Chain A
Amino acid sequence: MADIKSVIGTQNKKGQTFTDPWKLLHEAPRTPSFFTGSEVIKEAIRRASCDVMIAYPITPQSEAAALIGELFAEGYVGDYFRGESEFAVMSQCAGAAFGGARVFTTTAGPGTMRAMENFPMWAGARLPIQMIVTCRGINSPLSIQPDTLEIAYLLNTGMLVWHAETAQDFFDWILKGYMVSEEPDVHLPLALCCDGFFVTHTKDVVNLTPADMCLPPYDPYRSPVPCMDMECPPVRMMRDPFVMKSNYISYATHASWQQEIWAAIERSRKHSIHWLNGLIDTENVDADIMIVTSGTAVSQGREAIRMLEDEGVRCGLVKVKTLRPWPEEEIREATKNAKHIFVPEFNVTGWLAKEIRATIPNPHRVHAGPHVCGGMTMPPEIIVSEIKTALGMKTFSLAGRGS
């Protein structure tokens, strides 16, 4: 039985030193590197001591999946193969995780939707699989362009859901994500989302930890469920009376099981705060006007705040880092002084604005927008225009962009 502490300081077969995760991420020297988001995913996985990665091509995550194939060829990933479809990939990820492996996969858009049945199964089975979701359009007619609608479908699966703004977030959160999701009181899958193309296909300066240092391996003996027990739920599903019967005991068991999954998300709060330095980041929380958003809309919001400052309008910002666990108390506290709360989003339905409205008192303060979707970019000017319009200030014509 592996004791994680006992491997710290020893080397893996590639000569990487298993390093205390906190020291790796907070104390180890960092090297600025100019990489695309996809390359950053590869570099994070190089340091993640992953046992299994299963791939299936779908834009815009294909490049990251292929790059991890290179890592496998170099010997940094234990096993790597292509599934028959996204549904197959997610099922195969479950099999690997049931067997006690640290598992990684990537998907996007219609791939996420095709595999959806597996995600509540992962959560119910307490499998700490990490899945990168490089969000893109999911609807017909086909679009490969950035759009975050698929995140809305992930929110009630029982997975942890984080939304990265930058490639730097991506690098750090892939490694930190394993630390949170593998805690025995959490032990849930993590959907680590980003806005496709904007993060995956653009280059940015990312500060990387040394390539010769890596996370300690996953310890399956810390799992809250037995490893691959074929005679017990959740592995054995269809033959068991309590699963199939309509009686009070059956319902009580299922209800307790579901409550336990959502309790595990709640318990992840403590660990997420520890590793991410809070579930949200804030700026100017005493301002009357706040922008609350996640993903790359945060970057656009930040630029809009700078432009508004030039016009004498003071505006604050809340960057929502984790969608599950949902930072309810933090958002309530950060917006308590706000008279107007704007929620820019890269999707048509405004799911984030709905979550925020359900969280704060006086929800009429929430302006659900601006929205862009179908792959449109979100120039900061349309956020500025939305805010100025709401404040009754004169604004310029935007040629019909946005809502």
Chain B
Amino acid sequence: MGIRLPNPGEAHINGVIESEEKAYEEAARQFLMAKVPTIFPGPLVLWAWNEKAAKKATAIRHLFNTLKECVQPGQKPMLIPMPDYRPKYPKINPEVEINPNHPNLTIWHNKIDCCMFVGVHCHQANLSLKIIRGGTSCYTIAMCAQAGHEDAMLSFRDASVEKIMKLADTVKRLKGTVQPRLNSKSGASN
């Protein structure tokens, strides 16, 4: 709470306004370093409610496939959807979904140490990101279609198909140049 969000053409990394170029590099590096790099697509890209959403979904699938191709043995990329925002009781099944009201359960269960939100409404994304930040050590990235998220450790704004594809290209370009944290105890810790 309290940092200034980036202007168009910018991103932020740990609250500092940076160029988008630098953010692509850092996001790709974080993905390639993580034991369990994970993409959390939300309702705005899970359902083909317009042509743009369908294209974004295809780009996100491409990013996930790129991650799988680029990680080393021992790393486990995941794609876990946030299909809706309904609070569920007694709790969600963390094997198959993440929910903004208790996102930490999915992070802990799957030992996720780096995640990216995409296609989640801003309010619910911030709700989730606050709880993740408060209760886990997971590195958070927001690929936000609006103004960005100060509660993520790295945030893009005005997300588009092109930006998602560019992130995938950056992951591919940095393949083999980043040492994964396979021996560390980070990940799902709280």
Contacts and interface: CB of A to CB of B under 8 A. Distances in A.
Contacts of A232: 84-86
Contacts of A249: 91, 101-102
Nearest to A236: B86
B146 A253 contact: no
Given A1-B50, A222-B146, A256 B130 contact: yes
B2 interface: yes
B130 A260 contact: yes
A286 interface: no
A266 to B, nearest CB: 5
Contacts of B5: 185, 267, 270
A52 to B, nearest CB: 22
B40 to A, nearest CB: 16
Interface in A1-34: 1
B174 to A, nearest CB: 30
Interface string B97-136: 0000110000000000000000001111011001100110
Interface string A318-334: 00000000000000000
Contact of B147 (A183, A243, A256, A266): A183
Contacts of A259: 1, 130
Given A224-B124, A243-B87, A252-B102, 10 more contacts: A185-B147, A226-B43, A232-B85, A236-B86, A242-B101, A242-B102, A253-B102, A263-B126, A263-B151, A270-B5
A266 B4 CA distance: 9
B20 interface: no
A78 interface: no
The 5 closest A-B pairs by CB, nearest first: A224-B122, A241-B89, A242-B87, A185-B147, A184-B146
Interface string A223-264: 111100101110010001111010001001100110110110
B89 A224 contact: no
A325 to B, nearest CB: 11
B148 interface: yes
Interface of A: 1, 126, 183-185, 187, 222-226, 229, 231-233, 236, 240-243, 245, 249, 252-253, 256-257, 259-260, 262-263, 266-267, 270
Nearest to B150: A263
Interface residues of B, number: 31
Given A226-B85, A229-B85, A126 B123 contact: yes
Interface string B57-89: 000000000000000000000000000111111
18 contacts: A1-B50, A183-B147, A185-B146, A225-B121, A225-B123, A225-B124, A226-B43, A232-B85, A233-B87, A240-B87, A241-B89, A253-B131, A256-B127, A257-B127, A259-B1, A263-B2, A263-B150, A267-B147
A361 B151 CA distance: 30
A184 B89 CA distance: 30
Interface in B127-173: 127, 130-131, 134-135, 146-148, 150-151
Contacts of A224: 121-124, 126, 146
Contacts of B89: 241-242, 245
Contacts of B124: 224-225
A233 B85 contact: yes
A252 B147 contact: no
Contacts of A183: 147
Nearest to A253: B101
Contacts of A225: 121, 123-124
B86 A240 contact: yes
